[in-house]
A and B are shown apart, each in its own frame.
Chain A
């Protein structure tokens, strides 16, 4: 750090030395964040012999890879929409419907915990209730005489993984929606009623347009959240559900594509999807700040 630069040094000299203070940060993030990303980027333009090529990006359309992306996109979309809608309804119930404050505080704190409770322990908790010998599976069999696994349910499948993902998706929606709903002013509703507006008109013309950027933005954030998830899916399905992250994991373990460059291109495709979703989220979040402060 620039120890010689005191507050009273002339402006020109201060500018020329002050950036040195950020050097450790830039060196660290370059070494462990930017260089690894750039390395994947450069690697995706190389074929197996090391020659420059664009073929890897065309090869992303191979059925095997296309299906992996499509599966990841579907599961992320389903859990984002379900988590978004249910999370919005829960946040609304907590903030607007007048349930006691302790219920609200308790559930929001729980959401903070649940949105961090993911990966291996989360997968195992769901195995313990919905696995083949799980508590709910046994209860349904013994008390209700329903063999849920013979009726097409399977925890280690699309539906099962979606239910598991919702355990961190729904709380994340609540954590972001609740403060936004707090920002909806009571005066707006009163003004609408004074002008003769019905409840439906209030929602359709005032509240929803104001909340929409936050709702949509957060759903997009949930999409990215599920799209990048690896540990939960791997711990639950052991790699049998071919999501993009699972396929990239398999590629890292032992070059299953027989082409390292294609693996890097696959990783880059993921980063592109994530970048678009986080970018949209940030943009929509900024828009919503105009009204909800």
Chain B
């Protein structure tokens, strides 16, 4: 086959230009805060804001909790489907794909509608409205993120479990007297390391800059912070956008390393 050809290279260069322009543009823009010279002062100012660190840390905590919740929920579930309930696979698969049909804003709408009022049964308040307390809203946020990340996490866990012989491993562990907890934590989880890492990093990439759920649940997350900063500043938001792009790059690069040559969930995702 010929090397490239005119049109092949044309489209490659066109796409590269389109992909790189916003990044190079935002980067040079972020360096122009002081007139006439290029400087990193926008980055210094952005990092000097304690609010940045507070919201960024908060979003990272939420991302971590989402990853833990997703793994705890999906690994036993998908393991059980593989081992005992293959007939239930279409049902579980269908539910995990539902978040594709329900955009983040609709999910936020529904979650707030359900959880803004207390749970009252027969005149007794069983549960205060979760949206009225910080802890309750954090739970709702993590739960919402877990739902948004579910299609990707499910595919990661499913691909990982397909690649190993679940039945043989389980029976071997059982014959040595292992409990279900031991089987999942000490036999299945270590075998899913690469798959889980890629699912976790994708979840991280989705959660850290997320705006919709965080702003409607009124949580002090990085997405809403960056949005507000953009309302009255010009250079710092550009600097933080570059930082955030760099983080996405790191996450995707690690996914690439973790799943090279192995069946993985791919890198298709995002909360737009």
Taking the complex as formed, is A45 at the interface, i.e. its CB lies under 8 A from any CB of chain B?
no
Q: In the complex, A249→B16 CA distance in Å? A: 34
Q: Do residues A40 and B109 form an inter-chain contact, with CB atoms below 8 A?
A: yes
Q: Among residues 167 to 194 in chain A, which have CB atoms less than 8 Å away from a CB atom of chain B?
A: 167-168, 170-172, 175-176
Which one of A15-23, A48-56, A61-69, A203-211 is at the interface?
Answer: A15-23
Q: Among residues 238 to 258 in chain B, which have CB atoms less than 8 Å away from a CB atom of chain A?
A: 238, 240-242, 244-245, 248-249, 251-253, 255-256
Q: Which residues of A contact B99 (CB under 8 A)?
A: 33
Q: Which residues of B contact A21 (CB under 8 A)?
A: 76-77, 80, 84-85
Q: Among residues 1 to 15 in chain B, which have CB atoms less than 8 Å away from a CB atom of chain A?
A: 1-5, 7-12, 14-15
Taking the complex as formed, is A159 at the interface, i.e. its CB lies under 8 A from any CB of chain B?
no
Taking the complex as formed, is B146 at the interface, i.e. its CB lies under 8 A from any CB of chain A?
yes
Q: Is the interface of B mostly helix, strand, loop or mixed?
A: helix
Given A124-B241, A252-B216, A1 and B105 touching (CB < 8 A)?
A: no
Q: In the complex, A229→B212 CA distance in Å? A: 10
Taking the complex as formed, is A288 at the interface, i.e. its CB lies under 8 A from any CB of chain B?
no
Q: Do residues A33 and B102 form an inter-chain contact, with CB atoms below 8 A?
A: yes
Taking the complex as formed, is B147 at the interface, i.e. its CB lies under 8 A from any CB of chain A?
yes
Q: In the complex, A168→B262 CA distance in Å? A: 25
A32-B111, A116-B205 known; 5 new pairs, CB 8 Å cut-off, are: A33-B98, A37-B110, A120-B227, A125-B23, A235-B211
Given A29-B95, A98-B3, A125 and B211 touching (CB < 8 A)?
A: no
Taking the complex as formed, is B73 at the interface, i.e. its CB lies under 8 A from any CB of chain A?
yes
Q: Do residues B101 and A24 form an inter-chain contact, with CB atoms below 8 A?
A: no
- Write the chain B residue with the least CB distance to A97: B8
Pick the residue among B106, B144, B216 that contacts A267 (CB under 8 A).
B106
Q: Do residues A134 and B29 form an inter-chain contact, with CB atoms below 8 A?
A: yes
Q: Do residues B272 and A118 form an inter-chain contact, with CB atoms below 8 A?
A: yes
Q: Among residues 211 to 247 in chain B, which have CB atoms less than 8 Å away from a CB atom of chain A?
A: 211-212, 216, 223, 226-227, 230-231, 234, 237-238, 240-242, 244-245
Q: Which residues of A contact B104 (CB under 8 A)?
A: 228, 230-231
Pick the residue among B4, B9, B241, B244 that contacts A128 (CB under 8 A).
B241
Minimum C-beta distance from A211 to chain B (A): 17
Chain A positions within 8 Å of B, measured between CB atoms, are: 1, 3, 6-7, 14, 18-19, 21-22, 24-25, 28-29, 31-37, 39-40, 43, 86, 89-90, 92-94, 96-100, 103, 107, 109-129, 133-136, 165-168, 170-172, 175-176, 224-232, 234-235, 238, 245, 248-249, 252, 263-264, 267, 270-271, 274-275, 278
Q: Among residues 253 to 270 in chain B, which have CB atoms less than 8 Å away from a CB atom of chain A?
A: 253, 255-256, 266-270
Q: In the complex, A73→B108 CA distance in Å? A: 22
Q: In the complex, A181→B110 CA distance in Å? A: 40
Q: In the complex, A35→B144 CA distance in Å? A: 13
Chain B positions within 8 Å of A, measured between CB atoms, are: 1-5, 7-12, 14-16, 18-19, 21-23, 25-26, 28-30, 73-74, 76-77, 80-81, 84-85, 88, 92, 95, 97-114, 140, 143-144, 146-147, 150, 171, 174, 179-180, 202, 205-206, 209-212, 216, 223, 226-227, 230-231, 234, 237-238, 240-242, 244-245, 248-249, 251-253, 255-256, 266-272
Q: Do residues A18 and B212 form an inter-chain contact, with CB atoms below 8 A?
A: no
Pick the residue among A32, A115, A270 that contacts B268 (CB under 8 A).
A115
Q: Do residues A129 and B25 form an inter-chain contact, with CB atoms below 8 A?
A: yes
Pick the residue among A24, A29, A34, A119 that contacts B76 (CB under 8 A).
A24
8 contacts between A and B (CB under 8 A): A97-B5, A110-B19, A116-B251, A120-B211, A124-B241, A235-B230, A249-B216, A274-B100
Q: In the complex, A31→B130 CA distance in Å? A: 13
Q: Do residues B8 and A124 form an inter-chain contact, with CB atoms below 8 A?
A: no
- Write the chain A residue with the least CB distance to B256: A109
Q: Do residues A22 and B110 form an inter-chain contact, with CB atoms below 8 A?
A: no
Q: Do residues B29 and A135 form an inter-chain contact, with CB atoms below 8 A?
A: yes
Minimum C-beta distance from B187 to chain A (A): 15
Q: Do residues B22 and A126 form an inter-chain contact, with CB atoms below 8 A?
A: yes
Q: Which residues of A contact B80 (CB under 8 A)?
A: 1, 18, 21-22
Q: Which residues of B contact A235 (CB under 8 A)?
A: 211, 227, 230
Q: Do residues B114 and A98 form an inter-chain contact, with CB atoms below 8 A?
A: no
Pick the residue among B4, B26, B95, B110 that contacts A39 (CB under 8 A).
B110
Q: In the complex, A274→B98 CA distance in Å? A: 10
Q: In the complex, A37→B113 CA distance in Å? A: 10
Q: Do residues A93 and B147 form an inter-chain contact, with CB atoms below 8 A?
A: no
Q: Do residues B269 and A115 form an inter-chain contact, with CB atoms below 8 A?
A: yes
